[in-house]
Structure 1
Amino acid sequence: MAGFSVNSPKARKSDQELVAGVLEDKKQFAAIVQRYEEPLFRYIVRQGARDRELARDILQEVFIKVYLHLNDYDASLPFSSWIYRIAHNETITHFRKEKNRPLVLDKGDDDEFFGKIVDDLELSRADGQYDVSDIQTVLERLEPRYRDILVLKFFEDKSYEEISDILQMPQGTVATLINRAKKKVKASLEKN
């Protein structure tokens, strides 16, 4: 993945400043790619694109759409939500075309994610904490809409407002889905 120095002028610019710069000079689009390439790649993988080449292909489509539709971006809204929504939609569109969405949630280096769920649900067993593999198995069995919302909340650390923007649903619905998803996870863990 491409990186850049935190001390570079591009690193200090806000998303809105980067977008304004790209709208003035399309050559500056690389700054947006540098800022979002790694987090969006991880997000696409977390959505179920377990093959890294497939994830890169989807990511490339995301950046093409961002580039083509940057004029449509509403600067009064967070750019990160807008670009994540495009990534979410591209990933889901790909799975629909293939008529296959992998059920496996690749934990990768994200033990912290599973720890956040354990802490949030106040999960514990008589013999100690739940194993990461127990939680991963339960998450793999969740309906995609519940798994998607938990990925955004816990993996991507998005706020309810950002999730609302990304999934284009009211914040109340986001809160309800997160609550239901957490209850389903907790019930499944306690049942097993």
Structure 2
Amino acid sequence: MEIADYIVADDRELVHRALDGDDAAFEHLFNRYRDAIYNLFVQRLGGTNDADDLLQETFIKVYINLHRYSADYTFGQWVYTIARNTFIDYVRRRQEDLPIDERFTAPASNAPTPEESFINLQQRSQIEHYLERLTPRYRQLIVMRFFEEYSYEEIAAKLALPLGTVKTQIHRAREQMCRMIVEGEKS
């Protein structure tokens, strides 16, 4: 088979040829997916330290298990699955290599400190103060959009208003609230 034939051959044909003992076909499969899998490992590892080893381990598994490849999936999906599982195994091995006291240390807490909780409470009461100063319609729109997290479409449906009207009124309500906040900071 000519080099050009390998280049234009689809993955399934190359797999078939590789299973028949054509090493060049497997080499072309490797070359097609090498960079993508390598970059996946670099991205997940945050660097290149072990990416080469994981790439090699992945394609050894691909070669050994090539007879298990099913044409129900694209070859790329199949290789990616092997790469993902190889990475998971790598992470587990590294976890097992850690001393027991490092394995079971509690992760850093995302809970706010007492100071952050106090600041959040202050900010919340300020926002509620400004909300109370809005007209009832604007207050309702701000609460639905930003506190209850309704989409514009959901708000329009619940209030039986055109979508454009809802967007305009929410924009005006935000502007009014921002003006009150700025004026409140000046005084």
**TM-score normalised by the chain length of structure 2:** 0.46
Q: Which has the higher contact order (CA 8 A, sep 6+)?
A: 1
* TM-score in terms of structure 1 length: 0.45
